[in-house]
Amino acid sequence: MRKIGVLTSGGDAPGMNAAIRAVVRRGITLGAEVLGVRHGYAGLIAGDFVPLETASVGDIIQRGGTFLQSARSERFKTPEGQREGFEKARAAGLDGLVVIGGDGSFRGAIRLTELGLPCIGVPGTIDNDIWGTDRTIGFDTAVNTCLDAIRKIRDTASSHDRVFVLEVMGRSSGWIALAAGLAGGAESIMLPERPLTIEEVALRVKRGMERGKRHSLIIVAEGVGSGFDVGREIQKRTGYDTRVTVLGHIQRGGAPTAADAMLASRMGAKAAELLLEGKGGLFVGEVNNELVAQPLENVLGKRKGIPAELLDLAEILAT
């Protein structure tokens, strides 16, 4: 392989730029030319390519978002769209492609590999919901953003003896809620992996306040439902003044933490190495601090659970 491409797809995540930079610089040191594909698979179909040199990725390692931009392409989910993307890649002379994104993006990478364009996946999503890797790029930064919000909310909550509901992201996964709740000492964490009923949460709030707590913080993963619905029900059942904050896309932005920038740099470089060794149909994961390459197919239909031990700990400490 001599010419490789790189794209970012799905929801952006802090650290994606660091991953692109690593693909480009490692690819070039291994003698390859690197083309960036703008706007994910939509850009692949449109043939929206940009040559990337060592200097093109200067000064981006600490920038949030993705300078190649990302997209969600319905067209690419169809066989015709995939064929169009494949033809454009071939016409541009691409021998392989690094796909940085979540499991939806990995499905697209499998299709392209089947069509004859070897792809390597790099897990980039704040949700940390990809099977086969202990961490995904962007998760640590998103959790730290939540933690910053928790500290600020606690200040105002305890000044007014209030209950606060903080809704955090995670399309169908409670990883962000669990990590932020555990690290931030939340009183209740509502997440899809171990649902708590409104009655249980209301009981916890009442018990805590009666014991002398000056506030109660409830973290709600978006996969469980709306933070506003939870807030309304809690106020109704406890009588405590309750406020709701939905953190939203603030969690997707910002400079990557050191942990994310390191992870992205290691994974991006590894992806370029794998492609240039002639491999394809794989993704890079981090398992027990080591990078491992596994078949993209392994991810399909699998859910990355949260270890029971962590769920138990969160419950024990949040009394």
For β-strands 3-8 and 96-101, DSSP reports them as: parallel
> From the CB of 11, what's the least distance to ligand F6P, in Å?
3
C-alpha closest to that of 166 among 89, 234, 259: 234
- Is residue 127 part of the contact set for ligand F6P (CB under 6 A)? yes
Active-site residue identified among 127, 129, 140, 260? 127
C-alpha closest to that of 116 among 81, 90, 98: 90
C-alpha closest to that of 23 among 113, 94, 120: 120
Q: CB nearest ligand ADP: which residue?
A: 104
* Amino acid letter for position 273: E
Considering only residues 25 to 54 of the shown chain, the ones binding ligand F6P according to CB under 6 A are: none
Contact partner, 144, from ligand F6P, ligand ADP, none, Cβ < 5-8 Å per class: none
> From the CB of 125, what's the least distance to ligand F6P, in Å?
5
26: Cβ–Cβ under 8 A, 6 or more apart, which residues? 268, 269, 272, 273
- Identify which range of 123-131, 180-188, 257-265, 278-286 contacts ligand F6P by CB under 6 A: 123-131
Distance CA 109, CA 295 (A): 11
- Identify which range of 87-95, 105-113, 169-177, 262-270 contacts ligand F6P by CB under 6 A: 169-177
C-alpha closest to that of 15 among 145, 159, 127, 125: 125
> Of 23, 100, 126, 157, which one interacts with ligand F6P (CB under 6 A)?
126
Q: Under the rule (CB under 6 A), what is the footprint of ligand ADP?
A: 9-11, 41, 72-73, 76-77, 101-105, 107-108, 111, 125
Distance CA 169, CA 145 (A): 11
- Identify which range of 60-68, 124-132, 224-232, 276-284 contacts ligand F6P by CB under 6 A: 124-132
Tell me, yes or no, if 48 is annotated catalytic.
no
Distance CA 160, CA 139 (A): 32
> From the CB of 276, what's the least distance to ligand F6P, in Å?
29
By the 8 A CB rule, do 283 and 114 touch?
A: no
- Is residue 260 part of the contact set for ligand F6P (CB under 6 A)? no
User: Known catalytic residues?
Assistant: 127
Residues that bind ligand F6P (CB under 6 A): 11, 102, 125-127, 169-171, 222, 252
